[in-house]
Amino acid sequence: MASSRWSQRIAAVASLGDTTRRALFDYVRQAGRPVGRDEAAQALGLTRGVAAAQLDRLAEEGVLEAGFAKPGPGGPGTGRPSKFYTPAADEVLASVPERSYELAGELMASAAERSIQLGEPMAESLEKVGRQEGAAIGRQHGTIEAVLEATGYAPVPRREDEECIELANCPFHALASGHRAVVCALNGALLAGALEGCGDSDRRVEAIVPGQGHGECCARIVPASA
């Protein structure tokens, strides 16, 4: 059974080695919403048949999740359910979508050491350690966009306001599922520190309630004045 699961995960990662499937996966991941076959085909210059076959292959391998829903008014297939795709919430071997559990573990261990040594509340230690690490990452990458890409948040700028960045992926998804208050507080401190390290005072971190089941982050980047 374990060997079977391992083989399935290897197959899922291998499926992204195909350039067409990788392009489709990236498009669905960055969309931040369910994507239909017609939309994906048009966006990538593929025939509908090719897009449908490759999207279904990604769903079979567990990289995407497929479901049926009625499109919006006036859209292709109005009046009958169409197939839509979203990124899979559960990671596969080699971490697709990307997760950063090692980083979370290091930060929590550092916070615990600080709390013990200084006698300060654990929550305060987590906030300080998260900000310090975020600032270091921000200085390393220079812009918040580069930080978000490098750390696996899958940033998606809003079309109507590019200064607002939605985060389609939570790098700490499994941890946050069972310990949301702790992990989301640490995540917020990390992102706030990254903005400081980048010298970006025009934007701030805003906490949100993530959608159900697709692994979105519990925060987004918004203008400081918002």
C-beta separation of 197 from 208 below 8 A: no
Strands 165-167 and 155-157: antiparallel
Task: Give me the residues of the chain with pLDDT under 50, please.
Answer: 1-4, 6, 74-77, 93
What letter does residue 77 receive in the DSSP assignment? Answer: T
Cβ proximity of 190 and 133 under 8 Å = yes
Are the C-beta atoms of 81 and 68 separated by less than 8 Å?
A: yes
**What integer pLDDT is reported at residue 10 of this predicted model?**
61
At residue 13, the pLDDT reads 67
Tokens read off for 76: 């292709």
Task: Check if the beta carbon of residue 79 is closer than 8 Å to that of residue 70.
Answer: yes
Going by C-alpha positions, the residue among 77, 80, 73, 82 that lies closest to residue 55 is: 82
pLDDT digits (tens, 9 = 90+) for 62-90: 889 999 887 665 444 456 778 999 988 76
Cα–Cα distance measured from residue 62 to residue 100, given in angstroms and rounded to the nearest whole number: 20
Quickly count: other Cβ atoms within 10 Å of residue 53's Cβ. 14
Distance of alpha carbon 42 from alpha carbon 59, whole angstroms: 19
Q: How far apart are CA 108 and CA 208, in angstroms?
A: 22
Q: Which residues contact 147 (CB under 8 A, 6 or more apart)?
A: 137, 138, 141, 194, 197, 198
pLDDT at 184: 93
**Residue 204 Cα to chain centre, angstroms:** 18
Neighbours of 81 (CB within 10 A): 11
Query: Coil, helix or strand for 76?
Result: coil
Domains of the chain: 2-87 (1.10.10.10), 101-223 (no CATH)
Amino acid identity for residue 162 in this structure: E
